[in-house]
Copies of this chain bind each other. A is one copy, B any other.
Amino acid sequence: MRNEIETWQTGHGDMPPEAFEHWGEDVVRWIAEYLSQPEGFPVLSRARPGALIDTLPGEAPDDPEPMGTILDDFRQSILPGITHWNHPRFFAYFAISGSAPGILGEMLAAALNVNAMLWRTSPAATELETVTLGWLRRLLGLPDEFVGVIYDTASISTLVGVAAARQAALPEVRITGLSGLPPLCLYCSEQAHSSVEKAAITLGIGQTGVRKIPADERYRMDAAALRDAITADNAAGFRPFCVVATVGTTSTTSVDPVAPIADICADHDLWLHVDAAYGGIPAMLPEKRWALAGVERADSLVVNPHKWLFTPIDLSAFYTRRADIVREAFSLVPAYLTSREEDVINYMDYGPQLGRRFRALKLWFILRAYGRTGIERRLREHLRLAHEFASWVEGTDDWELLAPVPFATVCFRYAPRDLDGDALNRLNEEILADVNAAGDVFLSHTVLQGVYTLRLSVGNIRTTEQDVLRAWEGVRRAAERVSQSAPR
């Protein structure tokens, strides 16, 4: 049956069960083999731009093609263009990894194919969302009054938080829009994620409505500067409405002082949204719980299981103490979506999207298959590995750390003493390009106060000490190569 058209393909129905079993087992075996050795591929794809587009036909086939051919093409054409986020030496951005229990959950969710828009359109999908986010809330030590909703991405979770803030500040906004209303101001640190500013653009607040509060020398929001900015904006006729604090910023994973920020929000009646997409997960660990201090006073927050909780993308967990406001900001029930059940949650009422995948299933599998202790053990190992790496940087001449390491992300650079700022920036940019081109490790970068910064993030479930060591050797070799080839 490998490369032949099957009978079902020329009929009216779907692939019959025997054929699904055959191809499904084929795919499962391939996945098992792939996951046993993702490091057999270059971590960063070496495909040239357009390579895949050039390979594939310009039109869909008129006639069905054999499933075996399609799967062969997946291996031959698609795989070379994959950047392997599963690779144990993927240290770029935030290193994430799915996990086998999560993949099994996704398989079942794809098969069930329910839309959890209303409770009745799949009660179990709705209720498992309530249950798993309740479990996660307890793991994070958050108060029970936080109500959870699953969205696809932190971008949407933050958009929902800011939209709810807008609704709380200007209850008429849903009806009238922003046109006749006072200009809104949202506050976040200059280190906040771009999704905060993007939410402000999307929601009609605009980039000038985003006040980027300076950070201190450890990249944490300066609470005194926040207070001053709010006071100045109030005096100037603007309408402050929301502060977004970050627990685990993208560049350095710094943690904003949430408790003092919560005080300021209380004084000025501002909505506090906390972006703990990254930092919320390690805060499950008792020794990292400090990172969530003050978060119990937030109006909303986001943590991302698809970031560092072994959950295949996508699954972002949003919590709010003011679910009624979120509902006011988004609920819209046309006649064709009314339902008779009372006392149930229809999650479509709580966000911009009507269609909702059964995302809770994979999270349920993961939380049970690893258990609290298993998750903690893995997170601790990642923290340990990152701190190992940081200690090597610190202990080596001509290399330096550029930020504290509260979690498992290290900001550093090569800094031989005879070079100045611009030259160092160029040098480190070349080091990064060189080490990534080798295909053995993948790191990313950021810019901190004008300084080009190398970034290594540990978060992949397959990463071991050997992998981190290879990253360290890789950047050192790259530094040597680049230094020699580019005469200063």
Contacts and interface: CB of A to CB of B under 8 A. Distances in A.
Contacts of A121: 83, 85, 93
A330 to B, nearest CB: 7
A3 interface: no
Contact of A29 (B21, B98, B198): B21
A106 B108 contact: no
Interface stretch (A133-141, A293-301, A416-424): A133-141
A462 B123 contact: no
A245 B205 CA distance: 27
A395 interface: no
A231 to B, nearest CB: 20
Contact of A374 (B9, B49, B155, B179): B9
Given A50-B127, A107-B107, A372-B62, A332 B197 contact: yes
Nearest to A132: B60
A400 interface: no
A364 B57 CA distance: 12
A39 interface: no
A467 to B, nearest CB: 12
A100 B179 contact: no
A445 B177 contact: no
B177 A206 contact: yes
B107 A85 contact: no
A13 B14 CA distance: 37
Interface string A93-118: 10011111111101110111111000
Closest 3 CB pairs of A and B: A204-B204, A177-B206, A81-B124
Would you call the interface of chain A mostly helix, strand, loop, or mixed? helix
Interface string A49-72: 111110010111111110100110
Given A45-B124, A113-B313, A127-B81, A155 B461 contact: no
Nearest to A365: B70
Given A24-B25, A64-B369, 14 more contacts: A20-B32, A23-B104, A24-B28, A35-B111, A51-B123, A67-B369, A82-B122, A83-B120, A93-B121, A97-B113, A102-B110, A156-B352, A156-B353, A175-B206
Contact of A64 (B64, B209, B370): B370
Nearest to A304: B355
27 contacts: A17-B33, A17-B35, A17-B36, A18-B32, A19-B100, A20-B32, A31-B108, A47-B124, A49-B123, A51-B127, A52-B131, A53-B130, A60-B368, A70-B364, A82-B114, A85-B115, A93-B115, A103-B107, A152-B353, A155-B353, A163-B202, A174-B207, A177-B205, A194-B337, A251-B335, A314-B355, A336-B444
Contact count band on A = 35 or more
Nearest to A56: B131
Interface in A181-233: 181-184, 193-195, 197-209
Contact of A111 (B34, B67, B200): B34
A62 B371 contact: yes
B111 A103 contact: yes
Interface in A452-470: 455, 461-462, 464
B181 A179 contact: yes
Interface stretch (A268-276, A340-348, A480-488): A340-348
A64 B373 CA distance: 8
Q: Which of A93, A138, A152 has the most CB of B within 10 A?
A: A152
A472 to B, nearest CB: 20
Nearest to A159: B352
A178 interface: yes
Given A27-B108, A122-B81, A352 B155 contact: yes
A449 B217 CA distance: 63
Nearest to A53: B127
Looking at A56, A96, A353, A447, the one whose CB has the most chain B CB atoms below 10 A away is A353
B63 A332 contact: no
B340 A433 contact: yes
B155 A447 contact: no
A168 interface: no
Nearest to A134: B58
Contacts of A462: 13-14
A191 to B, nearest CB: 10
A444 B338 CA distance: 10
A80 interface: yes
A115 to B, nearest CB: 6
A403 interface: no
